[in-house]
Amino acid sequence: MKRPNLIYQKSVSGRKGYTLPNTKNRTSEILSAIPEKYLRTADAPLPEISESEVMRHFVGLSVKNHHIDKGFYPLGSCTMKYNPKLNDKAAGLKGFSSHHPLTPNGLSAGCLRLMHELSKDLCEVSGLDAVTLQPAAGAHGEFTGLHIMRAYHLKKGDTKRFKIIIPDSAHGTNPATVTSVGFKTVQVKSNELGVIPPEAVAEVMDDEVVGMMMTNPNTLGIFETHIKEISKIIHDGGGLMYMDGANLNANMGIFRPGDVGFDVMHFNLHKTFSTPHGGGGPGSGAVGVTKELEKFLPFPVLEKKDDGSLFFNYDRPDSIGRVHSFNGNFGVLVRAFAYIRSLGGDGLKEVSENAVLNANYLKEIVREYFDLPYDVTCMHEFVLSGNRQKKIGVKTLDISKRLLDFGVHSPTNYFPLIVPEAMMIEPTETETRETLDEFGAIMKQIATEAVEDKELVTSAPHTTVVRRLDEVGAARKGDVAFLED
């Protein structure tokens, strides 16, 4: 059945929910600036409803969907932590939110200083020497990083390299980015402990390898224990080490990629540094590099003059060029800066320690009810397998749909690919012990239901506004005005 969007259904001719500023004496001036052919001849067919109805409509919609302000969101790899509202407030300050990106440097001192200091903070967190804030997402950071790696080899006259070594546990964006820049992926297998053995890398290393992309902790939530040996193999063969830093939430103040041989990395500011994300909203995939690679960074680069003032330097002959208009998503940068400065160095370390503690605590609760393929101390997330339940006819997808009935978002499903029926759980540091206990109890209940009342789980969700959706269709068709039942 097709249901009409309620806000149109409530429309009553002549009802009004707004008060516009009085522009009477400017109306003709404004109208005369618009070419005749663009002027409306009839009113736009908008719903006519009162302010209270508008409020109820949007508040109602906001609770039909799941979000972090509404409930627990253990979506592994995505770091769906609670974002302090203070950071939103900072991003909304007029001097930031209303600042035009084409304003001359001399009138942008505050914004430039924020970007400069944020870059320095990210250098400190990563142990790298220089940062670009241009890329707008993690995958975009990967794209930027691989171009920098290519520029490094080409500058040396080394033109035959085209391979990137990637673990079988890698996030899908890694091989996708490799393809998008015209390189070729060479896969290496992780071992039974969930980490990459140096021998596997040595085996495929040759003079056609651009470098290696690693995620640490990896997507199994396990710390890669052989980074130093692997990085030596890659460097000895003339290659570079790239770190996918999306899991930085486990590392801050504890492990610095630059200290153990990584040459390039991207940060997901929208994951680790507190910008609400999901649904393709604005992000930032800032990229950090070593001193040696600094000259290849996208231009313009923010630099300091002798008098201490900041300016954008376009005179960067070795730069890979621009990767984004203006300065990336500036509001995300403000949030990251506010987050870092309000927590301080000790606070960031505590974030990572608590993220790891929460994940291990939760793992110990739920391991009794599900398979745990890698039984090691995890970092900020861990991966369960629903294999035991699959054998009796309940898939991981069913378990995740059933979680919705309890007001909880599902973990990441069927990823990483090397774990059958995977459930990747990342509780984040912002959840209380009570929430973790509650989630543990829900997982226990679902495991029991899978045995005793299978149908209840396989037909879930039962309490949500819509039931099982055509998820691919929902993403592709994007028709928000009608809901198919």
Ligand X SMILES: *Cc1c(COP(=O)(O)O)cnc(C)c1O
Strands (E), 203-330: 209-215, 240-245, 264-267, 287-289, 301-304, 310-313
Tell me how far apart the alpha carbons of residues 411 and 30 are, in angstroms, rounded to a whole number.
52
In this complex, which beta carbon is closest to ligand X, that of residue 194 or of residue 300? Answer: 194
Count of residues engaged in binding ligand X, rule: CB under 6 A: 14
In this complex, which beta carbon is closest to ligand X, that of residue 74 or of residue 300? Answer: 74
300 binds ligand X (CB under 6 A): no
Tell me how far apart the alpha carbons of residues 404 and 399 are, in angstroms, rounded to a whole number.
9
> What letter does residue 153 receive in the DSSP assignment?
H
Tell me how far apart the alpha carbons of residues 301 and 316 are, in angstroms, rounded to a whole number.
8
Pick the binder of ligand X from 53, 121, 244, 426 (CB under 6 A): 244
190 binds ligand X (CB under 6 A): no
283 binds ligand X (CB under 6 A): yes
139 binds ligand X (CB under 6 A): yes
Pick the binder of ligand X from 126, 134, 190, 219 (CB under 6 A): 219
3-state class (DSSP) for residue 313: strand
Pick the binder of ligand X from 74, 135, 138, 328 (CB under 6 A): 138
Site for ligand X in 425-464 (CB under 6 A): none
Answer whether 399's CB lies under 8 Å from 423's CB. yes
Tell me how far apart the alpha carbons of residues 376 and 319 are, in angstroms, rounded to a whole number.
43
**What Å distances lie between residue 91 and 85, 132, 174, 373, CA to CA?**
10, 19, 30, 42
221 binds ligand X (CB under 6 A): no
* Residue 192 tokens, joined: 């039974």
In this complex, which beta carbon is closest to ligand X, that of residue 153 or of residue 171? Answer: 171
Tell me how far apart the alpha carbons of residues 257 and 127 are, in angstroms, rounded to a whole number.
6
In this complex, which beta carbon is closest to ligand X, that of residue 143 or of residue 406? Answer: 143
Tell me how far apart the alpha carbons of residues 218 and 138 are, in angstroms, rounded to a whole number.
15
* Residue 422 tokens, joined: 């995977």
Binding mask 4-43 for ligand X (x = CB under 6 A): ----------------------------------------
Stretch that binds ligand X, among 189-197, 230-238, 242-250, 331-339 (CB under 6 A): 242-250
Burial class (CB in 10 A: 0-12, 13-18, 19+), 425: buried
Pick the binder of ligand X from 49, 115, 137, 234 (CB under 6 A): 137
171 binds ligand X (CB under 6 A): yes
Nearest approach in angstroms of CB 280 to ligand X is 9
3-state class (DSSP) for residue 3: strand
> What letter does residue 378 receive in the DSSP assignment?
-
285 binds ligand X (CB under 6 A): yes
Strand-pairing partners, residue 130, are 289
Stretch that binds ligand X, among 51-59, 239-247, 291-299, 455-463 (CB under 6 A): 239-247
Site for ligand X in 39-78 (CB under 6 A): 77
Pick the binder of ligand X from 108, 173, 274, 275 (CB under 6 A): 173
In this complex, which beta carbon is closest to ligand X, that of residue 49 or of residue 136? Answer: 136
In this complex, which beta carbon is closest to ligand X, that of residue 171 or of residue 363? Answer: 171
In this structure, the dihedral spanned by the alpha carbons of residues 216, 222, 226 and 231, taken in order and rounded to 10 degrees, is -10
Q: Binding residues for ligand X, per CB under 6 A?
A: 77, 137-139, 171, 173, 215, 219, 244, 246-247, 268, 283, 285
